[in-house]
Structure 1
Amino acid sequence: MHEDVERCVRAVQAKDARFDGWFFTGVLTTGIYCRPSCPATPPKAENMRFYPSAAAAQRAGFRACKRCRPDAAPGSPEWNHRADAVARAMRLIADGVVDREGVPGLAVRLGYSARQVERQLQAELGAGPLALARAQRAQTARLLIETTALPMADVAFAAGFASIRTFNDTVREVFALTPTLLRERAARGRPAAAAGTISLRLPFRRPLCPDNLFGHLAANAVPGVEEWRDGAYRRTLRLPGGPGIVALSPRPEHVACTLTLTDLRDLTVAISRCRWTLDLDADPVAVDDLLRADPVLAPLVDKAPGRRVPRSPDGAEFAVRAVLGQQVSTAAARTHAGRLAAARGEPVEDPGGGLTRLFPEPGALAGAELALPRARRATVAALAEELAAGEIDLGVGGDWNEARARLAALPGIGPWTVETVAMRALGDPDAFVPGDLGVRAAARALDLPAAPAALARRSCAWRPWRAYAVQYLWATGDHAINRLPAA
C-alpha cells in the first residue's frame, strides 16, 4: 500500500487508525516517522515519504514519533492472510527466529537460501531480516525500559542486543532519547512491575468483538493449562527460555496483557504469540465489508462487527486437542485434554491462579493412557509421532497446503480436523468447515445449503475470509463459545 501515495496521503490527513501498521509516514521536515493516525497536525503532502515497515523508515534515517509511538502499532494484516514466503518470514521474525537462529535458521525454515530471503524482504519491505529483527528488539527494549525496574544492562540482553553499546546506540537512534530518559518520561510515579512480570496494552484495529474470541477460548479451556479468572483468559505458554503465564483481558481500546516470564528474553515471542492467539493484527473492516456484501451474512455482521478467529499459541498442542475433540462434546474434549495434561504436562507454578501444567509436547505423548476408542488413540499416537519428528510443521511459518496434505494423510484425520487446524493453528483466514455441526445448524437456520458440498460451493462468495464467516455462523447458536464468561 505504501506505493499508493495518494491513498496514503488521504489516510494521514484523515488520521485514519485503520491503516496503522499498513504503512509508516516519514516527515522530511522533522526527521520523524509516524503511524497514519498520529494526532499531530498532518505535514504537507510534499514532505511525506511512505514506508512499508518501521524498519524501512528507521533505515531511511527517521526516528520514532514520541506522540503516536509507531513502533508499537498493530502489525500489518498482510502477514496474517498471506501464505507466501515473505508473509511466513514476517511471522517467524515476529516469533523471534532471527534472534534465536539467525538469518540462516530463518532461511532453512522457509526452504530458501539466506540470499533469497534477504532479496525478497528487501524488495517488499525495504529492509532485510536483520533490520526487521533490530526494529523488533528496539520495541522490546522500550517495553522493558518503561515497564520494569531492570538495570539497563539486563534490559539490553533481555531485548536481544549483543552489547550495551549497541543497545544504547539503537535506542537513541530510534527514539531520540537515551534509555534513562525513556524510563524517566514513562515513570510518572508508577510503580515498577515485579521481577519477571510485564504489564502492557496490546493494540488492535477496531472494531473488535470480544464475545466469541474470549468466549471460545474460555469455553474450551483445558483444566490446569487454561482458565478464565477475574475477567481474564489465562494460560501457560511454552517459551524458548522456560514456561510463561499470560493473562489477557478485553478493554474498549486495547487488550490488557500481563506476562509472567521465566526469562525476560522471551518477551517478544510471548507478545507475538498473544497477538496471534487473539488475531489482533486482522483488518476487521476489510473482512466485514466483504461478508456484509452477502445479504444472508449482513445482519450477523451488523449485529456484532469485528469478530476475530480464536487461535492457539501452540499449533502442535491444538492439533492434538482437535483430534481429542473429534465427535465428542466440548466438555468431553476438555476432560480428555485435561487428563492428558495432568499426566504428561510439565508442572508450572502459578501463585496468582489455578494453572498447573504446560500442555505436553508431542514427544511426551508416546504410550499415554487415553480413555478413547482404539482408532482415536492410534490417531493421536500417529499425529504425535509426526509432530515430534518435525514431519508436520504447524508453527506460524508453516506452509498451509503442505501441512494440510500431511495431516490428511494420517489415519483417522478427516476434512473437519484438517480445516479446524488450518483455521486455529495455522491461521489460514480462508479455512472452512462445512461439515461442522454448528455451521450446518446455522446454515439451516439461515436457509443456506446444509449439505457440506453445497455449502462449500456457496461459501466461495466469502473468500478469502471464510474462517471469519464461520465465526459469524457459530454466533447464531446458543453456546458458551459465543459469550464472555461471567467475571
Structure 2
Amino acid sequence: MAGRFDPRTSRTTVRGGDAAMPSGVPRQASASGRVRTWVPDGPLDLRLVLGPLRRGPADPTFRVLPDGSVWRASLTPGGPGTLRVSAVPGTGAVRGEAWGPGADWLLERLPELLGSCDDPDAFVPRHRLLAMTRHRRPGLRLLRTGLVLESLIPSILEQKVTTDEAYRAWRLLVRKFGEPAPGPAAGGRLWVMPAARTWALIPSWEWHRAGVDNKRASTILRAVRVAARLEEAVRMPAAEAQARLELVPGIGPWTSAEVVQRSHGAADAVTVGDLHLPGIVGWALAGDRFADDAGMLALLEPYAGQRHRAARLILLSGKTPARRAPRMSVGDIRGL
C-alpha cells in the first residue's frame, strides 16, 4: 500500500501563523504575476509545510527550486493557477505570487494553505518522544488546501500499491491529460491536473498503460461523476466530509483521511488501514512493532482531537522499527 506517512522531513509541516493581513487587502500586481505578502506569527519552513502535497520527486504539479521557492499548479474553482511561495529574507514574511485564472483564489487562501487555521497549542504531549520532537520542530502546523479532488485522485491511485507505482501513474496521467501550468511555472515544468470531465473521458487503455487496475480506475470515475458534491465537503467539518467521501464505492477510511488531512488540515484524521503506520506508532510509543489499527488507536487515544498531529510528530522523530519483511512487490498490469 502506498502510505502517505514517509518520515522524511519533506512529508511534514511546521508552524505558519495567523494571517497578518485580512481578506480583501489589495494585492500588488507585478509584471510576472499577482503578489501577496503574508507575515506568519512563528517559524515557517516552506518545504515542510507544503511537502505533504508532493506526490513523489517527479510530481508534475509540484516543484521546489534551488532558491528555496515552492511552486504548485492547482485546478481551482476559478480555473487553472500557478502559485510560487518563497520566504522574504530578513523579514519573516512569505511572498506568494500567482498566475492564471485561479491566481486570485490561490492568493486569497495563502495563509490557510500555510497553516493559519491550525492550532498547534491544542496539542499536549503525553510522551517524552513527542515532547522532544515538537521542541525540535517548533510550530508544527497543518496545511489546508480547500480542494478535495486534487488530493482525492492521487490518494485513490495510492490504494494498495507501492508508492513508486502510484507516483508513476499520477505523473503519466497528469502530463498526458492535464495542461501546462500558467505563468513561468517553475521553468515550464509544471502541469495542472485534469478537470473532472477529462478524468471521466480517459479511455481504459490509458489507465492500463499507466499501471492503474480497473478497481482504482473505476473508483476515480465514480468520484469525478459527483465531483461538485465532493468539493462541497470542504465547507463541512472533517468527520462529515469523510462520511460524504465514503459514500462513493471504493473510498474508505484510509482514503478519506488522506484527503481531509490536506483539504481540511484535519488534526484528528488519523489514517487507519495503512500498511506501516500502526507498527511505527506502536514501536514509538510502546515498543510494539506488530501493533494493528486497534492497537494504534488505543495508543493515540490520549491525543483525541490531535491524533493526526501526534502521528506526524512520531514520523518526524525518526523512531521507526528496523525492516524485517521484504518490501511490497511492485505490480505491473501492463502485460496482462
Answer whether TM exceeds 0.5 for this pair: yes
Tell me if structure 2 keeps the 8 A contact 1:209–1:308.
no
Conserved? CA contact 1:279–1:308, under 8 Å: yes
SS of the residue corresponding to residue 160 of structure 2 reads: coil
Match of 1:457 among 282, 288, 298: 298
The aligned residue for residue 372 of structure 1 is 212
1:467 aligns with 2:301: no
Is 1:261 matched with 2:99?
yes
CA drift at 1:236: 1.4
CA distance in 2, matches of 1:241, 1:277: 17
Q: Distance in 1 between matches of 2:78 and 2:244?
A: 30
Segments of 5+ residues of structure 1 without an aligned counterpart are 1-17, 22-71, 75-134, 149-192, 480-487
Cα distance in 1 between the residues matched to 2:260 and 2:79: 27
Q: For the residues of structure 1 that align with 2:226 and 2:77, how far apart are their CA atoms?
A: 21
Please give the TM-score of this superposition, normalised by the length of structure 2.
0.74
1:423 aligned to 2:264? Answer: no
Give the match for residue 75 of structure 2: 238
Residue 165 of structure 1 corresponds to none
| Residue matched to 2:332 | none
Which structure has more relative contact order (CA 8 Å, sep 6+)? It is: 2
Of 411, 414, 417, the residue aligned with 2:249 is: 411
State the one-letter code of the partner of 2:116. L
C-alpha contact (below 8 Å) 2:281/2:311 kept by paired residues:
no
Q: Of 6, 12, 20, which aligns to 1:73?
A: 20
Q: Does the aligned pair in 2 maintain the 1:248–1:258 contact within 8 Å?
A: yes
Check conservation: 1:362, 1:385, Cα contact below 8 A. Answer: yes
Amino acid at match of 1:206: G
Q: Note closer, same or farther for the CA distance 1:250–1:294 as it changes in structure 2 (3 Å cut).
A: farther
Distance (Å, rounded) in 1 between the aligned partners of 2:266 and 2:232: 11
Q: Which residue of 1 aligns with 2:226?
A: 386
> Aligned equivalents of 2:219 and 2:55: distance in 1?
24
Residues 1:444 and 1:242: Cα distance change in structure 2 (over 3 Å)? closer
Q: TM-score, normalised by structure 1?
A: 0.53
Distance 1:386 1:241, change over 3 A: closer
1:300 paired residue among 133, 137, 141: 133
Greater Cα radius of gyration, structure 1 or 2? 1
The one-letter amino acid of 1:322's match is S
Q: 1:216/1:406 Cα in 2 relative to 1: closer, same or farther (>3 Å)? A: closer
After TM superposition, list the pairs within 5 Å mapping 1:275-424 onto structure 2: 275-284=111-120, 286-288=121-123, 290=124, 292-312=125-145, 314-351=147-184, 352-368=186-202, 369-370=206-207, 371-387=211-227, 390-393=228-231, 396-424=234-262
Stretch of structure 1 that moved more, 422-431 or 214-223: 214-223
Please say if residues 238 and 358 of structure 1, whose CA atoms lie closer than 8 Å, have aligned partners that are also in contact.
Answer: yes
Mapped partners of 2:119, 2:237: distance in 1: 22
Any idea what the Cα deviations from partners look like across 1:354-409, whole Å, max 9, x if unmatched? 3342111222211422121221111111112121xx33235532343333223223
Identity rate, percent: 24
**Which residue type is aligned with residue 464 of structure 1?**
G
Q: Deviations over 1:55-97 (max 9, x none)?
A: xxxxxxxxxxxxxxxxx626xxxxxxxxxxxxxxxxxxxxxxx
Count of matched residue pairs: 293
Q: 1:461 to 1:391 in 2, by over 3 A?
A: same
Q: Tell me the C-alpha RMSD between the 2 structures.
A: 3.1
TM-aligned CA deviation for residue 226 of structure 1: 1.6
Task: Write out per-residue CA displacement over residues 157-191 of structure 1, whole angstroms, 9 at most, x where no aligned residue.
Answer: xxxxxxxxxxxxxxxxxxxxxxxxxxxxxxxxxxx
Are the counterparts in 2 of residues 203 and 280 from structure 1 also a CA contact under 8 Å? no
Asked whether the equivalents of residues 76 and 147 of structure 2 are also in contact (C-alpha less than 8 Å), the reply is no
Assess if the C-alpha contact under 8 Å between 1:205 and 1:282 holds in 2. no
Taking the TM superposition and a 5 Å limit, the aligned residue runs for 1:25-44 are none
Q: 1:309·1:467 contact (CA, 8 Å) conserved in 2?
A: no
For residues 253-310 of structure 1, the C-alpha deviation after alignment (integer angstroms, 9 at most, x for no partner) is: 645334232359x53x2223333332234233x144x1x2433422221222222224
Given candidates 34, 56, 79, the residue that maps to 1:198 is: 34
Relative distance call for 1:407 and 1:199 in structure 2 (3 A) is closer
Rounded Cα–Cα distance in structure 1 between residues aligned with 2:79 and 2:217:
29
Q: The residue matched to 2:188 in structure 1 has which SS? A: coil
* Distance in 2 of aligned mates of 1:257 and 1:219: 24
> Given residue 235 of structure 1, which amino acid in structure 2 is its aligned partner?
R
Gaps of 5+ in 2: 1-14, 321-336
**Mean CA deviation greater in 295-304 or 307-316:** 307-316
Letter in 1 for 2:220: V
